[in-house]
A and B are shown apart, each in its own frame.
Chain A
Amino acid sequence: MQRTTMDLWVGLFVAAGIGALLVLALKVGNMGTYSAAQSYTLMGNFENIGGLKPRAPVKSAGVVVGRVVDIQFSPETFDAVVTMSIDSRYQFPKDTFASILTSGLLGEQYIGLAAGGDEVMLKSGDKIMKTNSAMVLEEMIGRFLFNKASENDGGKN
């Protein structure tokens, strides 16, 4: 075979390979939707993070605005310190409320940010003061049964 035809085929092959990698990165992976190029970090202390995992999304009004980077246990306050990386296009007021929510009944857990009304915005490295822990199903059922039992007691007496 001619060397030029072979070069052409190999060129097409390499181009197709790079194209496949790009398709994987942009269409299949999350490169197209979220890039960590420009972001700032926020911290939050949670009493209980439930099943939250690193790389879980951080959403505000349902839109993904960042990701959970790191989860550590703090030996001083005995709670979980969650580090989040937030897209720097989105700024949040100082009194933003962060809570751990679940998408759907059995879905993954994510952090929901509800913006407050403060004039001052959170800066990189700041700590979100108002947090709400994850709902733990057992605790919820336990509280429900406890309430039910005390209601019944009240009815008898």
Chain B
Amino acid sequence: MPRRIVLGIRGVGHRVIESVWRLGRASHFFMLMLLKSGISMRRFHLIIREIYFTGVLSLIIIVVSGLFVGMVLGLQGYETLQKYGSESAVGTLVALSLVRELGPVVAALLFASRAGSAITAEIGLMKATEQLAAMEMMAVDPIARVVAPRFWAGVISMPFLAAMFSAVGIFGGYLVTVVLIGVDEGSFWSQMQNAVDFRYDIVNGVIKTCVFGVAVTAIAVFEGYDAPPTAEGVSGATTRTVVTSSLAILGLDFVLTAFMFRGMS
């Protein structure tokens, strides 16, 4: 019995040490990537190529989900608000929930599962097939050539994707409530414009998306670079990317919201 307890404690200790090591490796990797991103900034076409793969190809899923999220928000908001006779406030509801929360968070979650997993799988497979080692043999730094462009491409794409998500979502809400249900168009827009503040709501939303973009792509490139060079390792790393970045998005969203919207009503 005491032996079991010792084994259990040892297991806990092992895990803690392992995760601290991992955290250290991640910070070291992140610093190294930032230091070497000057080289990839000078070869900007590498970043443009990655923006095409992470940003442009994510557009369809972002736009379609944004449209449907906005339409559902419009329907549900109308359903509840018309009980109180204030269905013209549905524009405010759709715009505020999209710009403040749903736009940044849902766009980042979709981005993590569509682009983040792809980045991890690509870098992990490059490592497993020893392409990264081959690059190093040719005196090409894999962090500057492979990792940093993907990171910056994700950081640049994320705010644009979230802005498109919000804009399309508001259009979806407009379609459902104004065009289909017949809420007054003028009060839909004017109530929205009265309630949504540029500095307070829109800029804060953009700040959120920038933070999420950094978090998601940093996790994705690190998981790929740190993956065990086997088929199993790459699949595990891809799963971890999606899980960790989703949790990171939700946790960071709470922290950011607490700082941004505290005490103001």
Listed in ascending order, the chain A residues whose CB lies under 8 Å from chain B are 1, 3, 6-7, 9-10, 12-14, 16-18, 20-21, 23-25, 27-33, 53-55, 57
Contacts and interface: CB of A to CB of B under 8 A. Distances in A.
Given A7-B48, A9-B56, A24-B202, A30 B196 contact: yes
Nearest to A32: B193
B55 interface: yes
B259 interface: no
Interface residues of B, number: 33
B200 A55 contact: yes
Interface in B52-101: 52, 55-56, 59, 95, 99
A3 B50 CA distance: 12
Interface in B178-201: 189, 192-194, 196-198, 200-201
Given A13-B55, A13-B160, A14-B160, A30 B49 contact: no
Interface stretch (B3-11, B164-172, B242-250): B164-172
A9 B166 contact: no
Main SS of chain A's interface residues?
A: helix
19 contacts: A6-B49, A7-B48, A9-B56, A10-B48, A13-B51, A13-B55, A16-B160, A20-B163, A20-B167, A21-B159, A24-B166, A24-B167, A24-B170, A28-B99, A28-B192, A28-B193, A28-B202, A29-B197, A30-B196
Contacts of A55: 197, 200
A57 B194 CA distance: 9
B264 interface: yes
A15 to B, nearest CB: 9
A103 B196 CA distance: 18
B265 to A, nearest CB: 6
Interface of B: 45, 48-49, 51-52, 55-56, 59, 95, 99, 157, 159-161, 163-164, 166-168, 170, 189, 192-194, 196-198, 200-202, 206, 264-265
B193 A33 contact: yes
A27 B163 CA distance: 13
A10 B193 contact: no
B66 to A, nearest CB: 10
Nearest to B161: A17
